[in-house]
Structure 1
């Protein structure tokens, strides 16, 4: 812990010299020993490895076996169709996986390209990769920090650490030793500088304590590397479903083969029938359908300003019930803004400011003149607190350039962290005004008068008490308070020491990084949708609580916990109390991961939003990580599952809504495919059980599964969303795909489709005795067309087709028309008919099969009437 060592101890321990730095020889040896000052990368998977990952699935193995056997027995068309499906599915997954995690690459890019160091007694600018432990590094405004450093000496040094600690204001840094027996949060280590942060003000000399993967940012990189890729709830369910269906398919096939042997059937014919039964039991196109539906959902979400980096994240969004959100830049605008001011012994909102008032005008002028920042439409430079003061002037058309022209600065005393004051001397007509800006306590100590209503009065204890009360009121609202005093001089020839005494107190300005206007409504909508919002920030507890109360996240400070408090609990103890809190302040990256994992331990689906380097590990640890696209670092974007292009918290809520609708649509597609496949199994199972001829050939089943089923399933996947979806509680991640009525509907419809197919087959045998092909053709058409009509009723569990709108899903209507047309072409075109082994149907035959095909649809519509009556 370098922060609790003195500068001399650090120099001695690291064997360095503050005056001359390291020698070139020593630096070279250390570089060879410790390696370059850069972050290690993760070994990338080859394209071939990624491809084999896609086919490493039980369902795929069974299909490959079926394709192999089909090829061996001469059913080449069956084998080819199965292989095409496997290949398409694998390619879809490969494209997604090839957009691999770029978090570590992004972390590398954050390293500064150059560093100013002392080598051999001379200043040298070297690539940051060549910086070694013990190097003496010179820091000035505008430079990135090349490694972790212990400050040896500094002058008004400020470091922008918002992407690292979550604080919106640059941290004051100095070389004073921190006396502490325990660990100190990164945000409070004022004598340490961390790799990839930015110096915004002042200068300093430091010694390198850690490089590369040993730095704080390097530890984050290790955490990113360590976090495994958790599969989403849908992936887990589909994997389990695949195993179950595969086992069932093999079991049923073996059972049918055994039964057929006892029936004295031809072994090879029944072997092929068993294969067709296995194919019927497994929804071959299911992985591809799910992937395509997710991909289409991704395209829709892009229009809502949400970019999905990983397809399964769409589904995960739909079951999120906790959003852990970073404060700075996510819930707030990441810009210090003046909200209140105090003049004429009154505390007012800035919106009520009256610049015709002499005191108010002087307060604004003084804050602008005693200021080293710039703020124009095209650029902003300097300390965020000073920029906020200039923005007050810009709001009232009082611009810094104009004031500096009219009231030229002739002398100044720069800001000093010990004095906590800054003073400028400006020309005012025949006189000179000194303006002194700083902390309220420092200004009160050197003020003897006060300006009220344009009149200078004695600064009595009663008036001072009034000022302090107003200052405390602003502080209670987590506003950062700055005070301003002035005095009038007859000439500029005044000793510097006399510029900051006997001031006339003008007033106060209170500023904060305010919450985004639209966020409060989004959080309220989230509550109605059963989603908790948790604030996790590196900022101070009081500031976090003030923002949280304004947004409706928390009610009081009792619901807030600091990082140092988290450290007092073991992981098990922390899990027990985590649900009592809504705010976690002054936290480190390790704390964020601990918080996310604690919430996940209760079975919650946790989303984590963030934009900084410090957010990356928790983005990875969460079920779904959401990064800010505008203010977010490349590290955060690389670690996230979703990136918001507008940095708007409201977009997260829209994404959750879209995610819920997408999952509902995927569920419709899955249940549709499984109902259809169950119907095929029932038709084949009972036909063989009753010792009938085989009603369907393997190529018929493959055609129905891969072609006829696919288009309606895809169309159901893009069904218009349910407007009431956000008024319902989040779906439980443990909830079965067949929960509620869907399981019963699956069985009912499987039976309906299977029975109508068998009825068509037996009618065909009766109408055309001796023509098995004719009967099989009628069964084939009823099987496919009944599934097409059945897809219409799958659009809603309880609402009828007319309530949801017959033509609202034009893709579904188109897919049904397309499917029926394909069936007609296959049966009527001789070449295709010979391939599919089907017989041309007459007009009366078509009337019969279409009538039978409508039975499942009609019965489902009647079942919905019963459901609606029961719900009432």
Structure 2
């Protein structure tokens, strides 16, 4: 017999929100040591060890040796500015990550001010009343106040795999729960006694540390490219220094020339782009109700070809309502003000007796509401009984059985509700009776109703059997519930079809209910429906073939979900899978992107998933796919720009040495260009809105490299065009102007080319009108700031002296600037990048 009490959790004395805030401020958040964000000092230390800053320090040192103190001071000041900007970017990213850690941390259901509230686990304080349900992670140490069939897995503390039964007891083993342990069965209420480092797991040593960045194909590809280019930059730096020194007998000048080329070649923006874009992308997705637990999911969800979703709460509103009661002989619709027959009231009363006393499940809440309105006598009778035994719903027996004992009676009453087939089996109905009743079940299911069978019986007050199959039961009828389709599902589903994404429904509901809801939503149901039993009976190859066409899966259990995920993956699909239960964790882990339900989901499901839907809304999931595509597209545009812009900068550091011309670029020039490049990478491209056709393109192939041949061909081609043009401008200017005039003119060309490259890189097609329609105010602000800064360093004498400029005639500058912009725009249109993609297998 399970330990139960008559008190409801809401009747227990709960803490006020004001007192909880005071304790949180006094005791600190409910976190283990080592979970905090990086400190400002740590970020600065990391920034200063970057190769770019080491090169700047080396260049400043060379200027000091040369006796050029002014140049050294300018570089030192630039280092301070660049470090400040970089630290601000890092802090911005860190703040976004911290907010996401707070939001996606394990949630806790507490009672404050007498009301149930779901809060972040870090906000739980000593004294809180915590409600524990199957699948929850215990947020803090506590003492049990109530327990019903409650078992907890404490292996994280003890290493013991067997769950421990919890009761209202003075025993530390059975009467206390501990932070980090997992509720595997039942429910209960606990009073928190310790949080954070004061918990048992905190005392053991604070073993949880900040999550390490995960290495994915995207990160691996970028890191390999950075290492390769960095190696090439060092070799080129040494070669230029030697060539310059030998040809001009100036070793210090050669070192400066080598440092300049190395600075121009180093692609330090690559990791910056990945870090900022994914962190900010996770923040953007959180604003539409999707939390990111694992950053790599953002690069995967945009490539999704299959979305496998549940019905209840995702496609429907999860707002159940009892709409009809069917007895063995008649049907009663639950209209306001209607009165039920005695037989219908008995069906509703038994359904209430087979439900939890403090309901959490939407169906059970609907049954409670209907019973209070239409079966008040049954509600009153139940208050005079004691619940003495529960048989929970299991995957093998889809029914709940409660045994109630009236005061002073020698026999107890049995109440059963569950899947109609299961309840009929428990009642041992003859096949003819089952067939007749199943016709009524199918008729209701075709209307989109959720059907529960109801049965009752009596039993002596003796030892109860281990399974409800041993009881003598009488079938009473059905409870019919409706869960309306979300109004935004049909347009979201149509958007997925347009994007080449196939959506499949996997539900535990009756096949007729699933097909009815699927038809209302706009699913293609021509291929019929597969039940869990049919899935289990198929071999892998047969299931893979059937899964290509069938979009509705009913009466599905978690093991069937796992097999379906594997079948979809075997057909080269990128699979996004939703789930909410403890047993859904394997399927969520097996999917390329697992998505847990934030509202009704368990902590186990959330920990196994990569993303969490805060409001369990299908529209939010589609929005995440759209944002995932936008993030990946913008990353690719930024990477394309970085490749393009470094070619002319590196070329203009190298070619004047080889041609015997005066040097065009010095470290201060590269720094100026970096002030344009870095904000463009960190802000402009990240803020670019999605293109109009982002959800009209088929998904990108899973194995498509970030730096594909076509992308590199366009990027290198654009960079080569700019380099050749700048070489021509500098070479011709040297014939007509002195060195400082020619340098200023060529640098103007390089800066305007840089701005134009940012513009054309914002689209694969390079079409000016298409790019202009994608409003991005940050681009125009950045372009204006770059032009003003250029004018200052060219025309203000003190600044021009630092840059070794003498201003040429303004007609020359205007002509070169306009010609440069036109050249880049034409080249961008000519070197368009429009990869051809075919729809993946299984896409509609």
> What TM-score, normalized by structure 2, do the two folds share?
0.66
Q: Does 1:482 align with 2:453?
A: yes
Larger radius of gyration: 1
* 1:360-392 deviation line (CA, Å, top 9, x unaligned): 6656544455565799xxx97488655433555
Which of 481, 490, 496 aligns to 1:526? It is: 496
How much does 1:675 deviate?
Answer: 0.9
Alignment of 1:435-834 (within 5 A): 466-467=436-437, 469-471=439-441, 479-483=450-454, 508-511=478-481, 518-519=488-489, 522-523=492-493, 525-533=495-503, 552=523, 555=527, 560=532, 585-587=556-558, 605-612=574-581, 623-633=592-602, 637=606, 640-707=609-676, 710-711=679-680, 714-739=683-708, 741-768=710-737, 771-798=738-765, 800-805=767-772, 808-834=775-801
Summarize the Cα distance change of 1:46–1:790 in structure 2 as closer, same or farther, 3 Å threshold: closer
Q: Does 1:44 align with 2:34?
A: yes
Q: Does 1:275 align with 2:259?
A: yes
The secondary structure found in structure 2 opposite 1:798 is coil
**Which shows bigger deviation, 231-240 or 255-264?**
255-264
Aligned residue number for residue 52 of structure 2 = 63
* 1:780-818 deviation line (CA, Å, top 9, x unaligned): 111011221333333323262224436833332232122
Summarize the Cα distance change of 1:530–1:559 in structure 2 as closer, same or farther, 3 Å threshold: farther
* 1:52-81 deviation line (CA, Å, top 9, x unaligned): 799989x97543542343243135644664
Aligned residue number for residue 389 of structure 1 = 367
Unaligned stretches of 5+ in structure 1? 1-6, 8-39, 116-126, 132-136, 154-192, 202-211, 214-220, 426-433, 448-458, 487-499
* 1:677-704 deviation line (CA, Å, top 9, x unaligned): 1111223333222222212222112211
The secondary structure found in structure 2 opposite 1:643 is strand
Return the alpha-carbon distance in structure 2 between the equivalents of residues 231 and 753 of structure 1. 34
The secondary structure found in structure 2 opposite 1:195 is strand
Summarize the Cα distance change of 1:370–1:413 in structure 2 as closer, same or farther, 3 Å threshold: farther
Alignment of 1:419-430 (within 5 A): none
Alignment of 1:857-872 (within 5 A): 857-860=824-827, 863=830
Summarize the Cα distance change of 1:383–1:839 in structure 2 as closer, same or farther, 3 Å threshold: closer
Contact kept in structure 1, 2:214 and 2:296, CA below 8 Å: no
How much does 1:762 deviate?
Answer: 2.5
* 1:324-380 deviation line (CA, Å, top 9, x unaligned): 5466654565565546654696779x6xx678998x6656544455565799xxx97
Alignment of 1:119-134 (within 5 A): none
The secondary structure found in structure 1 opposite 2:612 is strand
Summarize the Cα distance change of 1:803–1:789 in structure 2 as closer, same or farther, 3 Å threshold: same
Return the alpha-carbon distance in structure 2 between the equivalents of residues 317 and 857 of structure 1. 34
The secondary structure found in structure 2 opposite 1:736 is coil
* 1:444-467 deviation line (CA, Å, top 9, x unaligned): 9999xxxxxxxxxxx999999744
Summarize the Cα distance change of 1:400–1:76 in structure 2 as closer, same or farther, 3 Å threshold: farther
How much does 1:659 deviate?
Answer: 1.6
How much does 1:471 deviate?
Answer: 4.3
How much does 1:650 deviate?
Answer: 1.6
Contact kept in structure 2, 1:233 and 1:733, CA below 8 Å: no
Aligned residue number for residue 221 of structure 2 = 237
How much does 1:705 deviate?
Answer: 2.2
How much does 1:660 deviate?
Answer: 0.7
Aligned residue number for residue 452 of structure 1 = none
The secondary structure found in structure 2 opposite 1:805 is helix
Summarize the Cα distance change of 1:324–1:42 in structure 2 as closer, same or farther, 3 Å threshold: farther
Contact kept in structure 2, 1:297 and 1:314, CA below 8 Å: yes
Contact kept in structure 2, 1:111 and 1:195, CA below 8 Å: no
Summarize the Cα distance change of 1:411–1:751 in structure 2 as closer, same or farther, 3 Å threshold: closer
**Which shows bigger deviation, 792-801 or 469-478?**
469-478
* 1:749-808 deviation line (CA, Å, top 9, x unaligned): 11221122223322432332xx32221111111101122133333332326222443683
Q: Does 1:195 align with 2:151?
A: no
> What TM-score, normalized by structure 1, do the two folds share?
0.64
The secondary structure found in structure 2 opposite 1:854 is helix
The secondary structure found in structure 1 opposite 2:806 is coil
The secondary structure found in structure 2 opposite 1:482 is strand
What value does the CA root-mean-square deviation take over the aligned residues? 6.1
Contact kept in structure 1, 2:718 and 2:831, CA below 8 Å: no
The secondary structure found in structure 1 opposite 2:558 is coil
Return the alpha-carbon distance in structure 2 between the equivalents of residues 695 and 733 of structure 1. 43
Aligned residue number for residue 117 of structure 2 = none
Return the alpha-carbon distance in structure 2 between the equivalents of residues 709 and 194 of structure 1. 46
The secondary structure found in structure 2 opposite 1:692 is coil
The secondary structure found in structure 1 opposite 2:695 is helix
The secondary structure found in structure 2 opposite 1:791 is helix
How much does 1:238 deviate?
Answer: 2.2
The secondary structure found in structure 2 opposite 1:263 is helix
The secondary structure found in structure 2 opposite 1:838 is coil
Return the alpha-carbon distance in structure 2 between the equivalents of residues 311 and 701 of structure 1. 32
Contact kept in structure 2, 1:338 and 1:509, CA below 8 Å: yes
How much does 1:708 deviate?
Answer: 5.5
Summarize the Cα distance change of 1:563–1:575 in structure 2 as closer, same or farther, 3 Å threshold: closer
Return the alpha-carbon distance in structure 2 between the equivalents of residues 617 and 809 of structure 1. 42
Contact kept in structure 2, 1:367 and 1:437, CA below 8 Å: no
Aligned residue number for residue 28 of structure 1 = none
Return the alpha-carbon distance in structure 1 between the equivalents of residues 780 and 431 of structure 2. 82
**Which shows bigger deviation, 716-725 or 648-657?**
716-725
How much does 1:745 deviate?
Answer: 2.1
* 1:291-318 deviation line (CA, Å, top 9, x unaligned): 4444554454344233445655444432
How much does 1:842 deviate?
Answer: 3.0
